[in-house]
Amino acid sequence: MSAPTTGSTPAASTGLDSAGTDSTGADSTSLAVRAAGVGKIFPTKTGDVVALTGVELTVAAGEFVSLIGPSGCGKSTLLRLIADLDSTSSGELQIFGKSAKQARIDQDYGIAFQQAGLLPWRTVAGNIELPLELHGVAKETRRARVAELASLVGLSDFVDRYPDQLSGGMQQRVAIARALAEQPRLLLMDEPFGALDEMTREYLQGELTRIAKDTGAAVVFVTHSIPEAVFLSDRVVVMSPRPGRITEILPTGLGDVRSESLRESPEYFERVTAVREALHGSPVERANER
């Protein structure tokens, strides 16, 4: 997949409406992700499985976008396509105006998964610096960067520990630090808090909004938690299965500051309801109306 350097859509923070056209603009690289008619088919013995079809999505630089939907809606598949861990079957996918493969090789994105995926024989520092080590960064530079990242995720006292000495939440913070090692402009996250308890989860959500703001990176965040998607995101992309596709894109309009008080605010609940209705495809019955 080769990326025409000038091919793009107009600035498209509104999402769905502007994507999928072949109009050209000068600011293609200001878009973190541009997907036009992206589809993914997995061939199986019993026939082809359509995992994704007709995905039109743009993510602006610095924007926080969540992908939400039931199992099998292709949200993780879409993330893996963006990360070039799988390849598209159809359509066009650009990351900062480049092909997904080029963006991966250029380390334009960092990624974190539901499993922390730390190498158990490496210390916290060894895990955080892994991408830097692979790219031949000098030892002194690596050490400085590890110290910086460890303090960013609040693990400065734990850099010499091994992953099995850490809690699940701490392991996940190490994984996030590793994803940020190359100072990516795009952070891809596949249910990174999915296996954590509720308290750790809410704490790390707050931390993530702070980190995203500090680093100015765009984030594509896969989740199946409605409150999580609303709390974190500028826009929530609602997806639906069989075949996997985008059904709705909802801007949250909750502003730049995401504090704990937001979780109790009426706007927040309103957005949660809106996303829930989009997921169910109909207005949700309230408990007191039953």
Partner 1 sequence: MTLRQAQDDALRQAQDGASITEAPKPGGAMRQARGGRSAYDGSGWTPPSWVRIVAPVVVGLVILLLWILVVDVLAIAPRALPSPIAILEQIADHNDIILEDMAITARNALIGLALGAIVAILLGALASAFGPIDGMLAPLVSAIAVVPIVAITPILNTMFGASSQFGRVAVAAIASFVPVFVNVLRGLRQTRPVHRDVLRSAGANGWQTFRVLTLPTAVPYLMTGLRIASSIAVIAALVAEYFGGPADGIGTAIATYAKSGRAALAFAYVAGGIAIGLAFFLVTSLLERIATRRKPV
The region, left, alpha or beta by phi > 0 then psi within -120 to 50, assigned to residue 129 is alpha
Segment near partner 1 (CB under 8 A), from 32-40, 106-114, 149-157, 254-262?
106-114
Task: Give the CA distances from residue 84 to residues 8, 128, 143, 180, 184, in Å, rounded to whole numbers and listed in that order.
Answer: 20, 21, 29, 18, 15
The verdict on 74 binding partner 1 (CB under 8 A) reads no
140 binds partner 1 (CB under 8 A): no
Q: Is 253 in the site for partner 1 (CB under 8 A)?
A: no
State the minimum distance, in angstroms, from the CB of residue 194 to partner 1.
13
The DSSP call for residue 140 is H
- Asked if the bond preceding 243 is cis, omega within 30° of 0, the reply is yes
The rounded distance, in Å, linking the Cα atoms of 261 and 246 is 30
Q: How many residues does the chain have?
A: 290
Site for partner 1 in 203-232 (CB under 8 A): none
* Sign of the CA dihedral with 119 first, then 123, 128, and 131 last: negative
Q: Which residues ranging from 160 to 179 are in contact with partner 1 (CB under 8 A)? A: 162-164, 171, 178
* Whether the Cβ atoms of residue 110 and residue 219 lie closer than 8 Å to each other: no
116 binds partner 1 (CB under 8 A): yes
- Closest to partner 1 by CB, 52 or 166: 166
d(CA 174, CA 193): 13
Burial of 281 (0-12, 13-18, 19+ CB in 10 A): exposed
CA-CA-CA-CA dihedral for 257, 260, 264, 270, to nearest 10 = 40
Residue 166 beta carbon to partner 1: minimum distance, rounded to whole angstroms = 8
Contact stretch for partner 1 (CB under 8 A) within 23-31, 49-57, 107-115, 153-161: 107-115
Q: Is the dihedral of CA 212, 213, 217, 219 positive or negative?
A: positive
Nearest to 41 by CA among 49, 30, 33: 49
138 binds partner 1 (CB under 8 A): no
How many binding residues for partner 1 (CB under 8 A)? Answer: 26
Could you check whether the bond before residue 184 is cis, i.e. omega within 30 degrees of 0? no
* Nearest distance from C-beta of residue 173 to partner 1, angstroms: 13
Q: Which stretch binds partner 1 (CB under 8 A): 27-35, 89-97, 100-108, 278-286?
A: 100-108
The reply to whether 117 sits near partner 1 by the rule CB under 8 A is: yes
Q: Using the rule CB under 8 A, is 131 a contact of partner 1?
A: yes
Contact with partner 1 (CB under 8 A) among 130, 137, 195, 262: 130
Q: Decide whether 123 or 240 has the Cβ nearer to partner 1.
A: 123
The residue among 128 and 238 lying less far from partner 1, judged by its C-beta, is 128
Among 1, 16, 50, 85, binds partner 1 (CB under 8 A): 85
Q: Where does this chain bind partner 1 (CB under 8 A)?
A: 83-85, 104-105, 107, 109-111, 113, 115-121, 130-131, 134-135, 162-164, 171, 178
